[in-house]
Every structure is written in structure tokens, then in C-alpha cells.
Amino acid sequence: MKSIILAAGYATRLYPLTLTVPKPLLPIKGKPILNYLFDDIDSIEQISEHVIITNHKFIGNFEKWLSIQHLQHPVILLDDGTNTNEGRLGAVKDLALAASSLSLTDNLLVLAGDNLIDFSLKGFVSFFTQCQTSCVMCYPENDLAKQKKTAIITKDSNGRITSYEEKPTIPKNNLAVPPFYCYQSSDIKKIPAALSDGCSPDAPGSFAAWLSKHTVLHAWEMPGHRYDIGDINSYKELL
């Protein structure tokens, strides 16, 4: 299994902080956001290698960051070739780029590089192994306005997803999906078909939403909290 860290965004809502520093490398309590994720995922026994997908503007920042890390498993840095927010590929196309350019045949743990969580992803990977299907995470979101801005799912008592909607006008439930996914290698091969079928390339969850209509997916309920650093105010709250 490999981890794929999506880090090719431009975080325009955090300008001017992110004009010269990518959001995953912004410091919180003395170390970059990305380090908190690696403290966890680098110790997951099923993971043998990490891939960080970034853009051409910030590839140098990640090269400098990587040069001073001491990780158990190797890290591949992948440049998606973009230089501006307007020219970005989007998370799904970045994932497709990684799969094709690196000829990936492994199962994948895919996560946004700019989120903080206060629990380990080991349980998520174990759940994925147990289910033997692609999986997403979920948590209860009771704010209706926030429900309409994210992905909302319903699931049965075994965790099997029964509906999956991106940014629903009328949410069917309160279970929201954060940008953390475990994908079977066979499902990763379906990304080109998803994009051809109208799957949005931008939102990382749009591929999972498309996939849910073509195969069985399961959802793992988060045992803790996730902190989405969406703007300067939410960033300052974590300092």
C-alpha cells in the first residue's frame, strides 16, 4: 500500500500566507502541518512508500522540506506542472497523474495534505483491509450550511454506503466525508472513465462519489476530530 498526499493546491483563501509557502508546510505549534500527518502514516505497517503530489510553483519548498526529514519509508515528490490556481489540474486529475506516471498498482491511502486530525489513520487502514472495498471516512456534521458545502452519505449498519452526494441542496443525512480515502487498486484504474463521465476534477471527493454509483464502498466513522484549515481565521485558531 502507498500513501498519496494531495498538496498541489494554491490555498488562495490564506493569502498572503500562502503566496510563497504551500499550505501543508505552514507551521502550527512549531512544525509544518504535513509533519503531523507523517508522524502517523509513516508508522502504519501496511504502507511502504509515500507520494506527495504538488505543483511546479511549490516543488522547491517540498524538496527543501523533504531534505531534512527522517522517515521510515521513501517519499516520491511529483510535480503536476502547474504554476497558478487558475491553471490547477484539480485533486482527481492529480491522482490520475500519479497513478499513470508512477504506474501505481498498489492500494492507496489518499489524503489532503492540509488537514489535521487528532487520531491515527491505522484504524481506517485496518477497516479498509477488513472490508476489501474502497472506503471513505465520515463524521457527524449537524450544521446545515456546512452539510451543503461538503459530501454527505448514508450507510447501513455494516458501513456500506447507500447514497453519496457532493454538496447536496437537501442533505439526506448528517454524515460528512472529509478528504481521506482508501482505494482498491482496481478502482484507481477507473479514474479516466470517471472523468470522461463528468466527474469533477477539482474536489477530491468527487471520484469517491462517482465510484459509489458503480461499485460497493464502505465508510469508517472517525473516532476523533478533524481540523480543516480553510482560511486565515481557522489557521490562527490552531496556533
Q: What does pLDDT average to in each consecutive run of 10 residues of the chain (239 residues)?
A: 97 96 96 97 97 98 97 97 96 96 96 95 98 97 92 95 92 94 97 95 92 97 92 91
Domain containing residue 205: CATH number: 3.90.550.10
Q: 179, 92 in Cβ contact below 8 A?
A: no
Q: What is the pLDDT of residues 55-90, one digit of tens each?
A: 999 999 999 999 999 999 999 999 999 999 999 999
- CA 214 to each of CA 119, 125, 164: distance values in angstroms, whole numbers, following the listed order: 31, 22, 12
Q: How many domains does the chain have?
A: 1
Identity (one letter) of the amino acid at 50?
H
ω into 201 cis (within 30 of 0)? no
ω into 179 cis (within 30 of 0)? no
- Taking the C-alpha atoms of residue 80 and residue 93, their distance in angstroms, rounded to an integer, is 9
- Taken in order 144, 201, 222, 239, is the CA torsion positive or negative? negative
At 35 the pLDDT is 98
At 98 the pLDDT is 96
Whole-model pTM over 0.75: yes
Domain that holds residue 206: 2-236
At 139 the pLDDT is 96
At 239 the pLDDT is 86
- Taking the C-alpha atoms of residue 167 and residue 119, their distance in angstroms, rounded to an integer, is 26
End-to-end Cα, the chain, rounded Å: 33
- Taking the C-alpha atoms of residue 197 and residue 220, their distance in angstroms, rounded to an integer, is 27
